[in-house]
Structure 1
Amino acid sequence: GLCGGIHSSVSKRTRAELAKISLTAANPDSPEGPAIVVLGEKSKAQLQRSFKKNLALSFSQVGRDVPTFADAAAIADMIFKSNLKLDK
């Protein structure tokens, strides 16, 4: 669709930021890289190629309908309850 460029841009920037964090983050076989939380199947597919072991959580069907605060709160709650070490 028309928004495909957004997913590609976000995925490209994410890969670049992960590569900057450390050499272990740039190595998809390293279990020590940062955890990645992904919203949407397109971004998941793009990031999974390089960082499969870093994908901690993913949410699909997000944004199919007009998102609500309740949707965002539910996702945030699941991320919080996952006990992942997240700083940003």
Structure 2
Amino acid sequence: MERKKYSWLSYVSFGLGIGLILHPLVTNVFPKYFMSIQSVGILLTILFSILALRKKNEKKQLPVIGLVLALMMLCYDGILLYITFHKYSPV
């Protein structure tokens, strides 16, 4: 029986997840670039997390944390986009 270990996919998904959470705090100076970089980061984090979770001899804690952080930011971005696009609509 092989020992399970973390690969680079786990570390990347976890690191990108942490970066997604910290990104709005860092980019408070440049809000114009927030949504595009955040959206790409969310997609990459979800992709790397799913790839790491599909590997057979891989520990699952870091990819799961990265996936949860990406989904949290996906909800946050969805709410933020909904509020900004519907704030001034007549409906």
Same fold (TM over 0.5): no
Higher RCO, 1 vs 2 (CA within 8 Å, ≥6 residues apart): 2
Mark the structure with the bigger radius of gyration.
2
Give the structure with the larger helix fraction. Answer: 2
Give the structure with the larger strand fraction. Answer: 1
